[in-house]
Structure formats: C-alpha cells, structure tokens
A and B are shown apart, each in its own frame.
Chain A
Amino acid sequence: MYHYMTAHQLAEEIRKGNASASEIARSAMDRIERLDPEIGAYITATGDRALEAANRVDERLAKGEAVPPLAGIPMAIMDNICTQGILTTCASRMLYNFIPPYSADAYERLEQAGSVLTGKTNLDEFGIGSSTQGSAFKKTYNPWDLGKVPGGSGGGAAAAVAAGMAAFALGTDTGGSIRQPAALCGVVGMKPTYGRVSRHGLVAFASSMDQAGVVTRDLRDCALVLNHICGYDPRDSMSANVAVPDFRAGLGEGIKGFKIGIPSEYFGEGTEQGIKERVQEAVKVIEGLGAACDEVSLPHTEYALSAYYIISSAEASSNLARYDGIRYGYKAEDYTDLEELFVKSRSQGFGEEVKRRVIIGTYFLTSGKLDVYFIKAQKVRALVKADFDRVFEDYDLLVCPTSPVAAYSDQPAGKGDGHPLNTCLPHTFTIPASLAGLPALSIPCGFSEGLPVGLQFIGKPFGEEALLRAAYAYEQSTNFHTMHPQV
C-alpha cells in the first residue's frame, strides 16, 4: 500500500503517525523480494540494514524528536556510488568483492537525513552503456514491459523507482545515465549542473562530466532530494561553492512569461514518430500555461555524440588505469611477475565493452592521435557549449525529447544496431547537456505504443530552480506521474 506513495506523501504519513518507518521499510523489502527476481533492478538488497535504519527513525519519533523530511523514506543507490561497509561493484567482475571503506558525499547526506537504504542497483559495467544489459551480474528489465530494456546505464535505479521498490534513487549521469532510463521507465530523472553535487565517492568514469543526480516519481520529490544532496564539498575540487536554495520554494510559481526554446535538431529522422508527437503535445500544454515557445537551432548537435565518445573513452581509459589487482578488487590467480598480474587481472576483470572503451580511449591519447581526436573533440565540445550559450541569451529553458526512442528489445544496440557508436546512440539527446555541464531533467509526458516517453528540460548553469519550476507546472497539468506499470 505504501509502494507507489511519493517521498513527500510518505513523510506526511510518518509525521501524522499513520505509518511507521519500519512498516514502510518492510513493505519496500517485501516488494523487492516479490518483484525483483523478474525485474533485476538490484545487485544487492540490504534488508537487515534497512530495518535497523527504519527502527532508528521510529525511535527518534517515539521520543518526540523532529526528523528531516526524508527520514524513513526507502531509497535505492546505484552500485557505482560508494556506501561504507556495503558491497559496491559497479556491475563489474573487477569489483565483485569491493566493500568501500568510506561513503560518497551524496549518500552520506541522505544517510544523515535518515533515508533508508533498500539496496544497490544494477547498471551497465562502470556506467558505460545505455541498456543495463552490460552488467557482469544480471540484466535489468523494464517494469512497463519485461521484454524491453530499462535504458541505462542506471536502468536499475529507474526500474526500482518505477516499480515501487524504492521511493527515490541516487544515481550518476555522465552522458544520460539517469535521464534516459528515467524516460524509458516513466519516472523523473535529474542531473543537476556539473559541480552542484560532490563527486566524492562516485566511482569515476569520465570525470569532466560525471555528476550525481536523482530518480523520483514526481517533481516535488526531485526538489526535496536535491535539497539534501547539493552543496559544496572540499573533497571534490570541482565542487561548486555556490548557495543552495530550497528547491521546493518556487515550484508552484508557474511559468507565465517564460521563454522556452525547442531545438529543431531533436526532431529529425532518428526520432520515433510517437516520441515527436508526445513532445509536441507537451509543448502545446506548456504554451497553454503561458510560456512562449519558439523553435531554435543548436547546429552542432549532430557532432556531440562523436565528441562525447572520444572524451568519455579517453577519460575512462585514464580513470580505469587504477584497477591493478593489488589494492582492491579482482586479482588473477596465476601470474609469474608484476606485469602479468596487472595484465591478467585487468583482462579477466573487465567486460568486453569496458575493454573496448579503454583501448580506444588509450588510442585517442597516444601521441599523433591526441590532436586528431582528443583535442579536436574538446574543441567540438566548446562549439556545443557555445550553441547553448547563444540560445540562453534569449531563452530561459530548452524543451526536447529525452530519448529518440522508447524502450526497445533486449539487445545492447537496440535500434542503433549496426551504427558504429551504437552503445551511445540512445543518449544522443542527453549528451549535449552533459558536454556543456548543464542541469537537465526528464519527466514523463505520455506513451508511445504503451511505452513511456520522456520530456527533457535543459536549463542554464545553476538554473535548477527555473528548470524545476517549469517541469512542475507541466507535471501538475498532466497526470502521467500518477501512472504506474502493472507489475
């Protein structure tokens, strides 16, 4: 009975004394036990800890203590985020036994707020992928259609929230790993501005774009969780020392007078007809709320995917050099010397797509190729950013599809089969905001052949408030956020 309640609804039930944190935790764990064998959202479920954490919240309430609004709320954490004392695998054989000796900043903040961890969720190995079929341990399926993928890399987090196994999830988004699965699973997914949330304790993939964010079932919850996880952290040198507002404060102020750009490049041939139609209908709704919507152009959009592929692979090749079989993680059994220990541990520990990216990423950084690929991609990144800077001189926000396609069948390449960059293709519309470090979110805007469609809002740097306010105005005039899969 609690499973489809939002975090703010659950908090209200707890505050009124209608529900205890332990009842809510038990309900979440029961649901995981019942549904997850089919959905495969979790790598590790943390039932005992969840009940202990919930009991602590109930004890505080029994003493009459005031608790934060997220106290007692069941959450899921993507398994590339360090949780002290709890297995953190990155869905890789390389970290099959890794128990972090410290916690990520964002997780620490939620733990302090009394949120109850239900478990660690599945992803494509090290966050590299867009289908959650590339985990070393299991595949995750879409709660709306178990024959379809949930998107990725954070498909486990999105599926867990969509199926009511957790009220919200914490994930990471490098090129779309929160937003695209949120779109395919019919939930809210947000990546704040690069620097808003500390990267301390996130397992690094592409450091210049890695950013923690949230998956929720509505916008009010999204604002609530952001309130907790944003903020300066000296342990991350890219952490932004800027004030964090109460993101809930301006939610209801409406969008009358907003100027919103609709980038025409997001409605090309590669975008499914059903997606175009739902997004165009959503634009009509937004216009009806008093915002002015105009078609705009981001001319370098078509080059963003290639630039992202080069930069993210190069950064991954450097970040993943740390896995050596010596300090933590998988270690090969037979070796004669140090070199062989490195090579065998890495060759046996990494999966195929990770190896592919590490090798091609290394290639982009070799002398002779550095200028041709890596520096060139960084220049294209500047052009992509300049496109956004230019339209944001005249517009407050951009609205576009989150993904060119709805959930697709169980192949990593999906509809991009045969395309050389097929593992990144489903992130075509989430990558540009990642390259530019911009805040962006996806919310449900209807269905295409029974599968959820995501509407993406992209904002100015540190412009989360306007982003949330606009998305909330849209959400409140529709009912897609109250629809749930039949599982």
Chain B
Amino acid sequence: MITKREVEYVAGLAKLALTYEERDRFTEDFCGILEHLNRLDSLDTDSVEPIACILPYNNVFREDVVEPSMDGEKVLENAPDSLNGCFRVPRVV
C-alpha cells in the first residue's frame, strides 16, 4: 500500500508536481502495482546474490590521459538559455 501523501512526497523527490487528479489516479495504480509485486515475497532469496550488472565486469578503467572535449559552443547549442559561454539559470544566491 502507498498513500496519497507518500506519492506526493516521492514525486517531489523526482522533481515532479502532480495535479490532484493525477495524484489520486497514480496512488490507485501504484496500490495495484505494489500488491502485484508483493508476489515476489513468495520466493526465498536469502542466499541469492543480487545482480546489478549482467557482464562479469567490475570497474572499467582507462589510462589517465587527457582527450579532447566537445567544443563549448557545440555543448551550448541546445541550451534554452545561455550567456557568455555558460548555461544561464535563475539566481540561486
């Protein structure tokens, strides 16, 4: 089970604002989903190691060599708002 307040809280963590209508609908959907997912509890997994990565790789390193970066202008091409080669955001301090 999940409450409307929890859904609102988690949406906030994900930087999303929901309308009341969305919040109510999502809460109802999530209750159904979580109930379904609880079927996993019937599996005994105490001695199972979780898999995060399917390939037998751990840390993948490369030589610490400086390589060319993407051109600054190119990086800013898609920015909705930029100034003097920087992304521009609302004042924070």
Contacts and interface: CB of A to CB of B under 8 A. Distances in A.
Partners in one complex: yes
A352 B45 CA distance: 33
A101 interface: yes
Contacts of A240: 55
B66 interface: no
B89 A326 contact: yes
Nearest to A419: B36
Given A326-B87, A327-B79, A342-B15, A379 B29 contact: no
A237 interface: yes
Given A317-B14, A331-B81, A382 B39 contact: no
A343 B17 contact: yes
A321 to B, nearest CB: 7
Q: Which 5 A-B pairs have CB atoms at the shortest separation, nearest pair first? A: A378-B50, A437-B54, A328-B78, A331-B80, A379-B45
Given A98-B78, A326-B87, A436-B54, A306 B39 contact: yes
Contacts of B49: 379, 382
A158 interface: no
Interface in B5-24: 6-7, 10-11, 13-18, 22
A321 B13 CA distance: 10
A65 interface: no
A347 interface: yes
19 contacts: A194-B54, A209-B54, A234-B62, A237-B60, A238-B55, A306-B37, A309-B33, A326-B80, A326-B81, A328-B79, A329-B80, A331-B81, A337-B92, A343-B15, A350-B16, A355-B18, A377-B40, A380-B40, A382-B49
Contacts of A15: none
Interface residues on A, range: 35 or more
Given A101-B70, A343-B17, A420-B32, A378 B51 contact: yes
B89 A379 contact: no
A19 interface: no
B90 A337 contact: yes
B52 interface: yes
Q: In this complex, which of B40, B70, B74, B79 has the most chain A Cβ atoms within 10 angstroms of its Cβ?
A: B40
A99 B53 CA distance: 31
A439 B88 CA distance: 44
Contact of A326 (B37, B43, B51, B79): B79
A56 interface: no
Given A326-B89, A383-B48, A101 B17 contact: no
B45 to A, nearest CB: 4
A258 to B, nearest CB: 25
A384 to B, nearest CB: 9
- Interface on chain B toward A: helix, strand, loop, or mixed SS? loop
A98 B7 CA distance: 30
A179 interface: no
A362 B10 contact: yes
A379 B15 contact: no
Contacts of B81: 326, 331
Interface of B: 2, 6-7, 10-11, 13-18, 22, 26, 29-30, 32-33, 35-37, 39-41, 43, 45, 48-55, 57, 60, 62, 70, 74-75, 77-81, 87, 89-92
Contacts of A138: none
Contacts of A336: 90
Given A101-B78, A328-B78, 11 more contacts: A101-B75, A194-B54, A238-B53, A326-B81, A327-B87, A347-B18, A359-B16, A360-B10, A363-B10, A376-B40, A420-B36
Nearest to A438: B54
Contacts of A381: 50-51
B69 to A, nearest CB: 12
Interface string A331-356: 10001111101111011001010011
A208 B54 contact: yes
B75 to A, nearest CB: 7
A360 B30 contact: yes
Given A98-B78, A237-B60, A360 B33 contact: yes
Given A326-B89, A331-B80, A376-B40, A362 B14 contact: yes
Contacts of A375: 50
B35 A359 contact: no
Contacts of B53: 208, 238
Interface string A112-142: 0000000000000000000000000000000
